Structure 1
Amino acid sequence: MARPTRNSRALSQNFLADRATAEHLARLAVLHGDQPPLLLEVGAGKGALTERLAPLCRELRAYEIDRRLVPVLRDRFSAAPQVTVIGGDFLAAKPPRTPFSVAGNVPFSRTAAIVDWCLRAPALTDATLLTQLEYARKRTGDYGSWTLLTVLSWPRYDWRLVGRVARTRFRPVPGVDAGVIRIERRRTPLLAPAAQDSWRHLVELGFSGVGGSLHASLRRVHPRRRVDAAFRAAGLDPHALVGEVPPGRWLRLHAVLS
């Protein structure tokens, strides 16, 4: 097994070295065998996942920031007309205007930026990302708590933890295990577009931490009687911690307070 290079460490690259894991990740990215019209792969690396995605896609654009690997990738997939290898930073790419999916073994240090890119892309349908396990668990509520980003985006996106991968299946071996996170745009948003501003205001107010509790934070803007009524409608204890409130209950709070 080749030793990791200084450049791969600098780019936060941990290459997927297990064929079965690559196959499983590809199947998670292309659910039910439905070929996505366009799939963008983040960090193709040496092509382990690219090889498994290619037969499942009508068009696959594989992004790789390490320019030493680009010629190798282009040679490897020269006989696959649906695959285009793009040398450069995925984050610098303009999102396609037509529906597309994203998949990839994401550099742990760039996960937040890549997820943000995906959420800002108007035509994104779904993203299946191999990330640091802790990140995947936090974002999907697997710890029994929810983050601001997840709650804010919940009316438009469903977040799920769909798999775990042992750190020993990467080269070089990272210090932690990985998780597979699946982000899907809802076909029908849970809130109308006109309600997005009031949703953001409510959630950001709740997560502000001002007042010492969620109930107290919301009372900074809303009368106590309405906050009490909202908590009853959501089935929440007034002493509930903000991170412990699931997105579905936030929707009930919003229904009363908006």
Structure 2
Amino acid sequence: MAQNFAHGNYSHTQKKVRNNGGGRTPRDRARRELSQNFLVDRNAVDLIVKAARPSGLVLEPGAGEGVLTTALARAGAEVVGYEIDPLLVAKLRARTKLKIMKGDFTATRPPDQPFAVVGNIPYGITSKIVDWCLRAPELTSATLLTQLEYARKRSGDYGRWSLLTVESWPWFSWELVGRIGRESFRPVPSVDSAILRIERRPAPLVDDGGAWQELVEVGFSGVGGSLFATLSRHFGGGVAAAFDRAGIARDTVVAFVHPDQWVTLHAGLHR
């Protein structure tokens, strides 16, 4: 069953970057408009490649100057880079023999064969790229360099769990696998970054995707006050036993329920 986990674009406010040009040249303006912060730290590149474990077909959104693109190819992947900046596309095509596509990655059709996505992606379209990945039927994994705040939110690193993570949990795992400081980029952004790994599970954790989505969306709706009250209004008397089985206290705030506890809730309510 095809799942749709799109929830609109997550806000990534990026303050004015520090650079000597002050944004006065056309290239400076292009970098800002396209959210271009190029990775210049080779150690950071190695960390991303190690986390991605690239093999087979790998798509790279935002190839930029090709630092990660060439590293992925050296690791043995069949890389297809996507870049929206025509000047960078021309430079990459002139310098490498790799396949570089000009255009918006999120407007492309996903391959009909297994593939992974690896990239240092623009902060401003992070959610758009993530949503594209989650909707792609043949995606095996996405290893993305994102704003640190985004990666922490999606991976539960704050101790809280977002709707998107919980809703997609039966099909995908989310993990923050490394942090990259802002000094690893040029121009230097105002925030740190992190490597977020999204991996498709070998087999879904639930059998009924529609029932799962209904459960999670009702739970996060807040109708009825607490999660227990919300689910009780919708599902009736079986909620108390399901909460006990999942080890969830009656007063637990919805964001603090671990995705695996949601799986147990689902099993208890849909036996």
TM-score where L is the length of structure 1: 0.93
Counterpart CA distance in 2 for 1:58 and 1:144 is 35
Q: Which residue of 1 aligns with 2:73?
A: 54
Q: May I ask how many residue pairs the two structures share in their alignment?
A: 247
Q: In the alignment, is residue 198 of structure 1 matched against residue 221 of structure 2?
A: no
- Determine if contact 2:47/2:178 at 8 Å carries over to the other structure: no
CA shift digits 1:182-235 (9 cap, x unpaired):
00001111112xx10000000000000111111111022122x31111110111
Counterpart CA distance in 1 for 2:214 and 2:78 is 39
Q: Which residue of 2 aligns with 1:76?
A: 95
CA shift digits 1:51-88 (9 cap, x unpaired):
2111123411000111111111111213xxxx201111
Counterpart CA distance in 1 for 2:62 and 2:219 is 36
Q: Equivalences for 1:145-184 in 2 at 5 Å?
A: 145-184=160-199
Is the partner of 1:13 in helix, strand or coil?
coil
- Determine if contact 2:245/2:264 at 8 Å carries over to the other structure: yes
Q: Among residues 246, 250, 255, which one is paired with 1:243 in the alignment? A: 255
Counterpart CA distance in 2 for 1:202 and 1:166 is 38
- Determine if contact 1:60/1:84 at 8 Å carries over to the other structure: yes
TM-score where L is the length of structure 2: 0.88
Q: Which residue of 2 aligns with 1:228?
A: 240
Q: Which residue of 1 aligns with 2:36?
A: 13
- Determine if contact 1:38/1:57 at 8 Å carries over to the other structure: no
Q: In the alignment, is residue 23 of structure 1 matched against residue 35 of structure 2?
A: no
Counterpart CA distance in 1 for 2:260 and 2:72 is 34
Q: Which residue of 1 aligns with 2:117?
A: 102
User: Compared with structure 1, are the counterparts of its residues 19 and 139 closer, same or farther at alpha carbon in structure 2 (3 Å cutoff)?
Assistant: same
- Determine if contact 1:215/1:227 at 8 Å carries over to the other structure: yes
- Determine if contact 1:39/1:57 at 8 Å carries over to the other structure: no
**Identity score, percent:** 53
Q: Which residue of 1 aligns with 2:62?
A: 43
Counterpart CA distance in 2 for 1:198 and 1:28 is 33
* Pairwise CA RMSD: 1.3
CA shift digits 1:68-116 (9 cap, x unpaired):
11111111213xxxx2011111011100000000000010010000000
Greater RCO (CA < 8 Å, at least 6 residues apart): 2
